[in-house]
Each structure stands twice: as C-alpha cells, then as structure tokens.
C-alpha cells in the first residue's frame, strides 16, 4: 500500500488471499481448508530477477 494509502482498494484481493491462507490459532486450520478441505498453493509475489530469464536480458541489451 502506498504511503498516501490511495491504492488500498487494488490490494484487497491479495490481502483477502493472505488472510484466508493464514492458519487460525483457535482452530489450527486456515479458512481455505475449513471451507474447501484443501489448501491452495501460495502465490510468489516477488518479481523474478534478471537471472531468471538470461535470454531476455541478452536480447534486450542489444
């Protein structure tokens, strides 16, 4: 969320996903698991670095 907190609405889906994926201290289960009986794979929110795609780096540096 930006320092001026103007983009929080666009972040709601990722916040909801994180909350539903978090294990509850009361039940020991995540809401996703209690609702569906399975856990979704967590999303890697990090952008891949340049080392992930060396061919693209080579092409764009020409």
* Cα–Cα distance for residue pair 41/15, rounded to 1 Å: 15
* Cα–Cα distance for residue pair 56/60, rounded to 1 Å: 6
Residue 1: the pLDDT is 65
Q: Is 39:21 a contact under the CB 8 Å cutoff?
A: yes
Domain ranges, ordered by start, for the chain: 8-60
Residue 6: the pLDDT is 81
For the stretch 5-60, pLDDT in tens is 787 888 888 888 888 989 999 999 999 999 999 988 866 666 666 666 777 777 87
**Which pTM value belongs to this model?**
0.55
């Amino acid at each position: 969320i930006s320092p001026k907190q103007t983009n929080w609405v666009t972040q709601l889906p990722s916040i909801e996903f994180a909350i539903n994926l978090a294990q509850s201290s009361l039940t020991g289960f995540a809401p996703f698991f209690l609702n569906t009986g399975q856990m979704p794979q967590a999303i890697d929110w990090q952008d891949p670095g340049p080392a992930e795609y060396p061919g693209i780096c080579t092409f764009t540096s020409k």
